[in-house]
A = this chain, B = another copy of it.
Amino acid sequence: MLTAPPYLQVSEATAKNNISKMVSKAEALNLELRPHFKTHQSSEIGEWFREYGIQAITVSSLKMAEYFADHGWEDITVAFPVNILESQLINTLNSRINLKILIADPSVIGFLESTLHAPLHVYVEIDPDYGRSGVSIHNKVLVSDVVNSIKSSKKLTFEGFYSHAGHSYKCRGKDEIKRLFAPLIRELSGFKNKFGGKLCWGDTPSCSVLEEFGEADQISPGNFVFYDWTQTRIDSCSYSDIAVTMQSPVIAKFPERMEILVHGGAVHFSKDSIQNEGNTLNFGQAINPKNPEDFSNYLKSISQEHGLISCSEDFFNNTNVGDTISIYPIHSCLTANLMRAYHTEDGKIIDHFGSGAPF
């Protein structure tokens, strides 16, 4: 039996094209691509990367690392700082695979000394003025202290510096990304020159548009495998590069407000949103099949299961109750995390981490 929508559809061809382009770019710039698998969280989509020679990956939690270790990945960076409550899992994984993890707070170093069974590779996480996690890029004394503590530890191996500049998501256009990143990469390159190790740089916007990465050795973008509507607004991609769409059934039409109700809400898309020009919120960009350049149809609000699309006259008139429409997610990582499965265009179902029981 065919699954009734809503479901998340993936285009294998588009995703592989995105992978291929990023692999070629990394090769041309002599960078190691360690793609972030938090976006797709799928063993099968992981295999698509292997076809392009990828051997080492990045994930966002130890449990996700365990999932990919179970699927044959042997070199995994957990791009999240050490959680000392998970020392048992750190030890287990560290004995199975080549595990690397981040240190963002020097207070964990002593704890790791006393609990690690074997040496562990660690990056110092540097906060590049994003304000989320890591030692501040401006706090040179602390950077030096942390690196030296790691280097003098018998249980820790200094891998280098890891930095995620998530404020690129606020940029609009390539020039703005370049202006934001050039000084940050220069500063991080200085750390590498001083302390050694590798410099790893993340985020899909900068990896999609920059041509200059200073002294960086590695890049670890994730979202680029699917992209999403937000990335088109940043100018990281074109809408035709987006590899996932929510397939959403049309439930009701409200002519007095030119709005369409779909079964597609916060439990499908997530509640991530961006602002349209004009400051209305957009929770998903509906595709007008008769006119792909009609960008006026979008999810104006969502609740748990309901999604409400504000429509152009053309789209409203040509859409009927019982149709299934395609909607680009605002944030494909969170949408995939909620849907926990992908449907290919030819009806095959692809797995997602967490499809089974969560405990």
- Spell out A's residues near B (CB within 8 Å): 1, 3-5, 38, 60-61, 80-86, 88-89, 104-105, 107-108, 111, 131-133, 136, 139, 166, 249, 251-254, 256-257, 259, 261, 263, 266-267, 270-272, 301, 303-306, 308, 320-322, 324, 333-334, 337-341, 349, 354-359
Contact = CB atoms under 8 A, between A and B. Distances in A.
B271 A85 contact: no
A319 to B, nearest CB: 12
Nearest to A86: B4
Contact of A60 (B166, B261, B305, B340): B305
B166 A4 contact: no
Nearest to A133: B261
Contact of A83 (B108, B249, B308, B337): B249
A324 B88 CA distance: 17
A3 B111 contact: no
Contacts of A349: 359
A3 to B, nearest CB: 6
Number of this chain's copies in the complex = 2
A4 B85 contact: yes
A168 to B, nearest CB: 13
Contacts of A357: 341, 355-356
Contact of A263 (B80, B256, B306): B80
A301 B270 CA distance: 15
Interface centre among A249, A259, A334, A341 (most CB of B within 10 A): A334
A133 B84 contact: no
Contacts of A5: 85
Contacts of A81: 251-252, 261
A99 B72 CA distance: 47
A161 to B, nearest CB: 16
Contacts of A359: 3, 341, 349
A76 to B, nearest CB: 15
Given A266-B334, A271-B334, A252 B133 contact: yes
A226 to B, nearest CB: 14
A228 to B, nearest CB: 13
Contacts of A321: 84, 105, 107-108
29 contacts: A61-B305, A80-B251, A80-B263, A80-B305, A81-B251, A81-B252, A82-B251, A83-B249, A85-B249, A104-B251, A104-B261, A105-B252, A105-B321, A107-B253, A107-B320, A107-B321, A132-B261, A132-B308, A133-B306, A136-B254, A136-B256, A166-B303, A266-B334, A267-B334, A270-B271, A337-B338, A340-B354, A341-B357, A355-B358
Contact of A251 (B105, B263, B308, B333): B105
Contacts of A249: 83, 85
